Amino acid sequence: MKIFIKFDFKRICTKVIEEKLTGLGIKYRMLNFGEIEFLEEVPDDKMKAFNAILKDYGIEKIENQKVILVQKIKDTIIDMVLNANETMNVKSSVYLSEKLGHSYGYLSNLFSEVTYTSVENFIILQRIEHAKSLMINTDLSLTEIAYRLQYSSVAHLSTQFKNTTGITPTTFQRIIAKRRELSSNKN
């Protein structure tokens, strides 16, 4: 028997961090996703233990301010893509500026400087990843997926999908259907 599981990474990471900080007896406050304020001085041994725990989960502490802001940009973009229905008709540049409190020009330049890619390209990659997830985990049509991800048309989604993955969305759906068929035949 095979099952598919959908993860809420934001929730999982938050829960792990809260459990580990509480377990270590560190007083803290969660500010935003991935942002923690310690409410008292944390002894070195506890901080080392916390860092080791984070490393075990593939989570790392970021201390460089530019890298922190770039991570916030990435998190905000991912949140924007996952909640596209709630951010309808808001340009991504406006959304990022309002959420992060910086001009889009500054955010865009910083993002390119640190990641060697553009904000726009990262948004496209996240939209395509979300489209793939929707194709795998739902029965939505390409029209519904295009609408949900705020594409102007299925053709626009298809063009970006092919440019990003090398295959069309329809081919991707056929591959997924074939894998499911093969998987169900094994059971």
Predicted confidence (pLDDT) at residue 62 exceeds the cutoff of 90: no
Predicted confidence (pLDDT) at residue 103 exceeds the cutoff of 90: yes
What percentage of the chain exceeds 90 in pLDDT?
48
The number of residues in the chain equals 187
Residue 76 pLDDT class (50, 70, 90 cuts): very high
Closest CA to 114 of 58, 64, 76: 64
Q: For the segment 35-53, what is each residue's pLDDT rounded down to a tens digit?
A: 888 888 888 898 899 889 8
CA 131 – CA 149 distance, rounded (Å):
8
Domain 66-186 falls under CATH 3.50.50.60: no
Q: What are phi and psi of 6, to 5 degrees?
A: -100, 130
Q: Which residues share a beta bridge with 184?
A: none
Give the per-residue pLDDT at 181: 84
Extents of the domains making up the chain: 9-61, 66-186
Q: Which residues share a beta bridge with 38?
A: 28
Give the per-residue pLDDT at 96: 93
Mean pLDDT of the chain: 88
Mean pLDDT confidence for 137-148: 91
Give the per-residue pLDDT at 60: 79
CA 111 – CA 113 distance, rounded (Å):
5
Residue 84 pLDDT class (50, 70, 90 cuts): confident
